[in-house]
Structures are given as structure tokens and as C-alpha cells.
Structure 1
Amino acid sequence: MTILVVTGTDTEIGKTIVTAAVAAANHGLRVAVLKPAQTGLAPGEPGDAAEVARLAGKHVTAVELARFPEPLAPGTAARRAGLAPVRPFEIAEAAQKLETEHDLVLVEGAGGLLVRFDDEGTTLADAARLTAAPVLVVARAGLGTLNATALTTEALRTRGLVCRGVVVGSMPAEPDLAARCNIDDLPVASGVPLLGAVPAGAGALEPGDFRSRASSWLAPELGGNRHP
């Protein structure tokens, strides 16, 4: 697992915090986080890659390929800004370059797996195919997540991509019935293992606390020590 692509079933579900947790859990490695397209932020504002580095520690190299000011899908945001979009081959080349100097490269997508990066309809799945990298899916905890997660993992299988597993991006401290049942049902619906659950509000922890707790949220396959 030198390169790992992190995607989600939707936007605002905890991809960045899960990426930070994986980086923190692998504190003994040289880790890079690559954000191909950051949208919705002005120049100079800290983006997702910077947030991962802040939470996970100094062993993390943060790289952002492009930034578009409007909070839209990367392809749409690039077109409206009159800027060149990010192409899958550029993502793959950047990830492979980072791979030569790091033990683990985490590529965090924007939104879901099939969000468009350009007007030709290329997606994060295309970048994953070019790097031959496995994909980690971040999912919601509650009602509706089984269908969304199953659709995402089915899309990966259809494209011949390996899904490493699923992580719940924001698990409530007091989960409702659906969230509790989904812990057992997600592996069945998705066809891949559940590799962790990050507690809601984890991103608000002090970085030192975040780093000390991250391993407990993730399975050994992601560098953690969480067990079912």
C-alpha cells in the first residue's frame, strides 16, 4: 500500500479527517497527502492537505495540485474560473513522484468517486486506474449509507479497481439505531471490510490528542489497532 486513494460516498462526510487519521496512524512512515483539486477556498486559505498535515504531524508532506475558488465539482469550478482542469494523468504523475520519496501517498479526492475533474468526464477513478492504487471509501454512519456505499464499491468493481475497505467518517457519540446497525451491515452491503470509524468531532481535537487516538479508530490494514 504505497499509494492509497481516498474517496467518499458524498461530500462533507469526513474524507479529510479520515485521511488525517490514516496519516497519523502511520507516524513511523514518511507520508504524503495529495489533494488534486481544492475547491471553495481563496488563495492563501489552508486547504484539506494542510489540514491533514496539521492534525497528523510533521512527518506529512502536503501537496495541492490546483485550487478553484467556487465550492463546486472540480471540472465545473475550473471551467467557471477560466482555469485549466486537473487531468487524471497529472494526478497519477504527481502521486508516483511523491511515491519515490515517501512510504505512503494518500490521494484525497473531491466529493464522491465519479465527480468530474474536467469537461471530458474524467474522475478520480481514472486516476486510481492509472496508478493501479487501491481505493478507500469514506461513508456516512446513518440512514441511507448502505445504498450509497454499495453503489460506490460497485462502481469500483465495474472499473476493475480494488477497494481496500470502508471507514465511517463521522460516528456519533450516541449513534441512533440505523448507525448502530450499519456497523454490521456496511461490510455486507459493500462487499468489502469495515476498516474503521472516526468519531464525530475528531477534527476539532488538539493535534497531539488526535495523533494519540487515531490508531484506535482504524484497523491494522490502515496502520491502526482497532479490532471488530
Structure 2
Amino acid sequence: MRRFVVTGTGTGIGKTVFSAALAGALRSPYWKPIQSGLEEETDSEAVARLANVPAFPEAYRLVTPASPHLAAEIDCVTINVDALTPPEGNLVIEGAGGVLVPVTRDILYADLFARWQVPVIVCARTGLGTINHSLLTIEALRARGVPIHGLAFLGEAVPDSEAIIAKLGGVRRLGRLPVLDPLAPDSLARAFAAHFDLADFR
């Protein structure tokens, strides 16, 4: 089976776009365990549109656009961590924000990843500050025994930053997804094929 968790070094770095590219390339279903914020297009809707793959229903759909632990409290929802069990089969799972985002007041996303033991792909932007954020993310995952499949960089090419993160983190560089304008299913599929080797995900 090909099963991956896609996480990031922070919020808004483009991991949903990468998740769509990966799911489309693998022809794999997608699952977002918790969606916080429903006013705009959800991540599941975006991936289904960009990758033309099925998306499993979220375990929790929270109206408030905030960290899941706070959004659930504001929405008067109790998150049952035991209900956050990934569907069977090939799957691309996307977390929220970074690995230390709280799911509840007791459990972080990194703790969920440790329970699941599904290989994690860390999405890292290439801009200033990424070395520190990326290495901290890798350390947090390793401290919990989470298997790390590799690094996917997002943005303009910064070869030195990409190389030193992979070297110091002891994690392989899978490739880099450039900024796409326009962002469309065809342009995304072409960019993934040009910058990543599908064999690295099998």
C-alpha cells in the first residue's frame, strides 16, 4: 500500500497543493482528519478539484478557522482522538499547520502521527527561516518515533537551504514544487512530474 501523511513546517506554506499533486500522481484517495474553517473552499474540496481523486469525509468539520483544539471548543464540539483512525488502503493524509499543532488540549498532531506509524512527508517552504523550522519539525517527529519518508520543498529554488536541511536532518530530499500561476489540475500534474520522481513514493 502507498500511504503517506503530508505535514508542514507551518500554516499556509502550500501543503494542500502538494497533497493534491501527490494524490493525483498516485491516483490515491485523500483524507483530512479535521477541517477548521468552512467559509472558503475546504482542503478536501481543493484536492478533489486539483487532483480529481476521491476525498474521504473529514472526521470533524469545524466552523471556526483556528487550531483544532480551540475551534472545537468554540464550536462546542468534543474531539474524540480514537475516532481519528485513517481509512484503509492507499491514502494521502493531510495534517493541519505544523506537527506541534494541538488536536486537543492533550494531543498534538505529531502524537497522532506516532500512533498511526504512516510515513510522513515534511513540506518545507524555501524562504528565509526554513532551515530552523524544518530541522525543528524533523526533531519533533523523530522524538516520537514517527517514520519520515522525506522532504518536499515548496517555492523558488534555494539549493543551499534545501541541501543543508536534508543533510543535517538526515532526511532525503524528494523534490521541489515551484509556485504555479495559474494553479490548475494540468499545470500541477506537469510540475509534479517534472520535479519529483514517482518511484520515490512507491
The match for 1:133 is 118
Opposite residue 49 of structure 1, the aligned amino acid is: S
Opposite residue 188 of structure 2, the aligned amino acid is: F
Listed as ranges, the gaps of 5+ residues in structure 1 are 224-228
The match for 2:179 is 200
**Which SS does the other structure have where 1:22 is aligned?**
helix
**Which SS does the other structure have where 1:151 is aligned?**
helix
- Counterparts of 1:33-182 in structure 2, within 5 Å, are 33-42=30-39, 45-57=40-52, 59-87=53-81, 89-92=82-85, 95=86, 98-99=87-88, 102=89, 104-120=90-106, 122-169=107-154, 171-172=155-156, 175=157, 179-182=158-161
Opposite residue 16 of structure 1, the aligned amino acid is: T
Contact 1:34/1:105, CA 8 A, preserved across alignment: yes
Pairwise CA distance, 1:91 = 1.8
**Which SS does the other structure have where 2:57 is aligned?**
strand
The match for 1:226 is none
The match for 2:188 is 210
Q: Aligned-residue CA RMSD in angstroms?
A: 1.9
Listed as ranges, the gaps of 5+ residues in structure 2 are none
Contact 1:79/1:85, CA 8 A, preserved across alignment: no
Q: Give the aligned length.
A: 201
1:21-72 per-position Cα deviation (integer Å, ceiling 9, x unaligned):
1112213xxx121111111223xx5310121111112x43343221222221
The match for 2:6 is 6
- TM-score, normalised to structure 1, is 0.81
Equivalent of residue 184 in structure 1, options 163, 168, 179: 163
**Which SS does the other structure have where 2:29 is aligned?**
strand
